[in-house]
Structure 1
Amino acid sequence: MTPRPLGPTPFTTVHPDPTPAPPRPTCLASGASITVGPVAAALGHRASVVKLTNCRSTPITVDGYPDIVVLDADRRAMNVTISHATSYMAIDPGPTKLVLRKGETALAAVSWSSTVEAGEDKASGTYLAVAPGKGQHAVVWPVDTDLGTTAKVTLTAWCRKFPT
């Protein structure tokens, strides 16, 4: 048996492609600034919190659900099923009309499971396009969405704080 040398073991450093930097929050024409938080993981489930902040001096209203689209690395929309519901990671409070004064925020959770079934292709998104509501201008944020083979995303309604 050959003795193993003592001391440092050689290793290779892998430098993955850098994750695109998130955009700087800007005030959209709607009066909202949108940011997307980091992805949290638990037992194969994933979630990210979307935060909308009123960045103008007059109140703005959000009602219902944000509008999201999962985009691939080339920023093309992916074929993903989005449902408005409670998930493993977040309780959906249901749609409510919220009036936000300057600086006030509303939150929503985007969640998915990284479920993989044999013989099927995995879906992975690179960005989320998020708008305050349907038909409004979206902001694109880098968010790795490892959707497994289900390609399903769950979205909660805007709320002031998440139900517990």
Structure 2
Amino acid sequence: MIAVLAGLVAGTTVSQAEEPSCETGLRFTANGTGAAMGLRMMSVEVTNCGSEPLELNGYPQVKVLDAQHEQLDVAILEGSGGIAAIEGFDDAPQPITVAPGESAKSAFLWRNTHASVDPPLVGKHVDIAAAAGDTWQPLVPTSQQGSILIDLGSTGRIGVQAWHRE
């Protein structure tokens, strides 16, 4: 199922004018959205572009924002939250050290279903921090098609995978 999701790209785009910043010593990028039967999965990467090792043991902190950069009322779940059963997505956090120049991975998981008369929730931007209390910064997509699209429909939930190495 992961291979199917990873092989389908729909919805995540980037503006080439927006280069990922590294002012904080960390760079966060989104590496495409896989879509299958309403299920969406976006891979996320943090790169340590600083000079000190980065210690991670948990989940990225996530804020889903609309087109005007206003935070949407979205439940951010640790793990899949029952959205779907994806191998490895619900693995418990493990301590990892990310040396300068190295990266760690995470992913977001959601369903685009709509069962309401209310307008669908659509995230166009994401702010992310490596851990609670860390500096928030924009998640920058790396594909060549425009901007982030998190099309939650009426579900209002997004699962977040713990930081890990591949």
* Fold match (TM-score > 0.5): yes
- TM-superposed CA distance for 1:139, in Å, is 2.2
Alignment-mate amino acid for residue 42 of structure 2: S
Alignment-mate amino acid for residue 76 of structure 1: E
State the match for 1:88 in structure 2. Answer: 84
- TM-superposed CA distance for 1:122, in Å, is 1.3
Alignment-mate amino acid for residue 88 of structure 1: A
Q: Which has the higher contact order (CA 8 A, sep 6+)?
A: 2
Alignment of 1:46 with 2:45, yes or no, is: no
SS of residue in 2 equivalent to 1:34: strand
Distance 1:134 1:152 in 2: 19
Distance 1:36 1:158 in 2: 14
Contact 2:39 2:110 (8 Å CA) reproduced: yes
State the match for 1:149 in structure 2. Answer: 154
Alignment of 1:32 with 2:30, yes or no, is: no
Q: Which runs of 5+ in 2 are unaligned?
A: 1-12, 141-146
- TM-superposed CA distance for 1:25, in Å, is 2.0
Bigger radius of gyration, 1 or 2?
A: 1
Distance 1:21 1:49 in 2: 18
State the match for 1:109 in structure 2. Answer: 107
Distance 2:42 2:99 in 1: 24
SS of residue in 1 equivalent to 2:100: coil
Q: Which runs of 5+ in 1 are unaligned?
A: 1-18
> Which of the residues 56, 64, 69 maps onto 2:63?
69
Distance 1:143 1:117 in 2: 23
Contact 1:45 1:89 (8 Å CA) reproduced: no
SS of residue in 1 equivalent to 2:20: coil
SS of residue in 2 equivalent to 1:38: strand
Alignment-mate amino acid for residue 115 of structure 1: T
State the match for 2:124 in structure 1. Answer: 126
SS of residue in 2 equivalent to 1:133: coil
- TM-superposed CA distance for 1:95, in Å, is 1.5
**What is the TM-score with the length of structure 2 in the denominator?**
0.77
- TM-superposed CA distance for 1:89, in Å, is 7.1
Matched residue count: 142
CA-atom RMSD, angstroms?
1.9
